[in-house]
Structure 1
Amino acid sequence: MSLARALDPLIDLVFPPRCPLCGVGLSTQGGLCHVCWSEMAIPGEPSCRTCSRPFGDGVPEGALCAPCLGDTPRHDGIAAATLYNDVSRKLVLALKHGNQISHARFMARLLATKLSFVDEAWLIVPVPLHRWRLWRRGYNQAAELARELAKINRGRLVVDLLERRKATPSLGGLGKAERRRVLSGAIAVRPAKRAIVKGASIVLVDDVLTSGATSDACISILKRSGAQRVVIGCFARVLDEALDVVRQNGPEIPKDLQHTKTPGT
């Protein structure tokens, strides 16, 4: 038995297991209660063969979604643990702005179920923060997710492969061309890391995928630097139009993340 496992009873005594969203008591650490799980929007099949956008029933296997048909994406796939809704938003905000770094482990475990193909040959690279934002926040939430993901999927973590050379404003409300203009030259591969990018398969990790403008900028520079394959791995993906589809199918709860309530809670 590992030391960590041996200390579990003591940890549970000092810090009783609770759901990080609603606070209800759990039988073990590291998951959500069944009620909160039922409100998660976890994408499944059928989905777009390129970006994994969820489809409704009746769509043939291998179909492409309209956005991918209209504009061939730079990425080589999107692995999203959840769709962005009220529940996943609480986890994201707690990690990103609430200093709840411990949430990264659970969030990465959920993301890892979508990245089962990743092994030691893959590089795991977080979307970078500008140094001033990193200084103010104290950590990069994408890097915390990437660090936990590397432990699970055994990929090679390279936290500092990408750098954000200039601070950028919020991209909300900007058009596609304007977003590209704002991000032009903002992200680069660090010179000391260029050699490992050539021919590499990379998981680009972020907490939330919204318009995809920032990830596109990262992927563009990675592929210009010689990366062979870049898959986006995110905890939550903003696809409001797909929420009803996923809700009808119900969440697919990974067995190792299911936890029961403790008696009397």
Structure 2
Amino acid sequence: MCNTQAVTLASALTPVIDFVFPPRCPLCGDPVAAHGGLCLTCWDKLAVPSGTCCTLCQRPMGEGHGEDAQMVCAPCMAEPPKHAGIAAATLYNEPSRALVLAFKHGRRIGLAPMMARMMLMRIPPLEGRWLVVPVPLHRWRLLQRGFNQSALLAREIAGATGHDLLVDGLVRPRPTPSLGGLGRKARARILAGAIAAHPGRTAKIKGGNVLLVDDVMTSGATTNACITALRKAGARQVRIACFARVMDEALDTVRETVELPS
């Protein structure tokens, strides 16, 4: 079946599916217009970076910093990042946490298209050839969970942008324990050498631009390990795209609303 036929069939079946399974908000359960969306109340509870942000890490700068397109935050000036920019759909708060948990641990993989659309709203134009690469899972974790949530988001983003998906561009040759509750240095120590470029994909990575996709960015230890592996494989530059970013100090400086994606 070609793509056009599949879209036509899906459109024809939508009223039937909506009748049998009425679309509801995945957070509160209230009725919504269509599957794959949040109600207005839950949309308004999301924290979305807005206003003046650091051009290197997208950290909200708050008011009083003007509209300088080259504004760089103090942490990035003190320690220039290895990446070429971060695009976070939301800051990590209770609603975004609930979506991530439902997606990753609740196995509600149908949330991937909506979450990816929100990420796409924050990703700047990607000019030239780009590879979309997800943060990898160790094979045992992948077998246990049944899917890589970052790979599902990467697939949606690659399909929407027309760039190549390299789902196995990175691998985890050894398992790592949970990083929850650990500090930045401890996370970096555990992840040292735990992520590498796939030996069979280095030819594609070399000289290319990479969009690294993850669901949640916490301390940056995981993404830094991925960037190190990609740069070692010859990547020219690496940008990061995530659904939620842990940045508690910035929550009070953002406008906690988001425009509904089309």
Specify the TM-score bucket, using the shorter chain as the normaliser: over 0.9
Q: In 1, Cα distance between the equivalents of 2:181 and 2:73?
A: 23
For residue 241 of structure 1, what is the aligned residue in structure 2? 249
Q: Does 1:254 align with 2:243?
A: no
Superposed displacement of residue 224, structure 1:
1.6
Other structure's SS at 1:72 match: coil
Counterpart position of 2:3:
none
- TM-superposed deviation, 1:182: 1.4
2:126 maps to 1:118: yes
**How far does the alpha carbon of each residue in 1:45-79 deviate from its partner, in whole angstroms, 9 at most, with x for none?**
20001111111112131221121111111011000
Pairing of 1:132-171 with structure 2 (within 5 A) = 132-171=140-179
The 3-state SS of whatever aligns with 1:171 is coil
Q: Is the 8 A contact 2:118 2:261 kept in 1?
A: no
How far does the alpha carbon of each residue in 1:208-247 deviate from its partner, in whole angstroms, 9 at most, with x for none? 000000100000110121111111100000010111111x
Q: Which residue of 2 aligns with 1:105?
A: 113
The residue number in structure 2 matching 1:262 is none
Match of 2:218 in 1: 210
Per the TM alignment, residue 121 of structure 1 is displaced from its structure 2 partner at its CA by 2.1
| Cα distance in 2, alignment partners of residues 19 and 12 from structure 1 | 13
- Residue 90 of structure 1: CA displacement? 0.5
Would you say 1:9 and 2:9 are equivalent positions? no
Provide the TM-score with structure 1 as the length reference: 0.91
Structure 1 residues 152-183: Cα deviation after superposition (integer angstroms, max 9, x where no partner)? 12221111110001111223444444333211
What is the Cα-based RMSD across aligned positions, in Å?
1.5
Checking the alignment, whether the CA contact within 8 Å between 2:170 and 2:195 is kept in structure 1 is: yes
CA contact (8 A) 2:130 2:211 kept: yes
What is the match of residue 263 of structure 1? none
Following the alignment from structure 1 to structure 2, what is the Cα–Cα distance between the partners of residues 75 and 255? 27
Deviates more, 1:53-62 or 1:177-186: 177-186
Tell me: CA distance 1:23–1:84, structure 2 relative to 1, closer, same or farther (3 Å): same
Shift in Å, 1:4 = 2.0
Counterparts of residues 7-156 of structure 1 (less than 5 Å): 7-60=13-66, 61=68, 62-118=70-126, 121-156=129-164
User: TM-score, normalised on structure 2?
Assistant: 0.92
* Counterpart secondary structure, 1:123: strand
Q: Counterparts of 1:125 and 1:11 in 2: how far apart (Å)?
A: 33
Alignment gaps of 5+ in structure 2? 1-6
Q: Return 5+ residue gaps in structure 1 as ranges.
A: 257-265
Is 1:187 aligned to 2:234, yes or no?
A: no
Kindly indicate whether structure 1 or structure 2 has the higher relative contact order, using CA contacts under 8 Å at least 6 residues apart.
Answer: 1
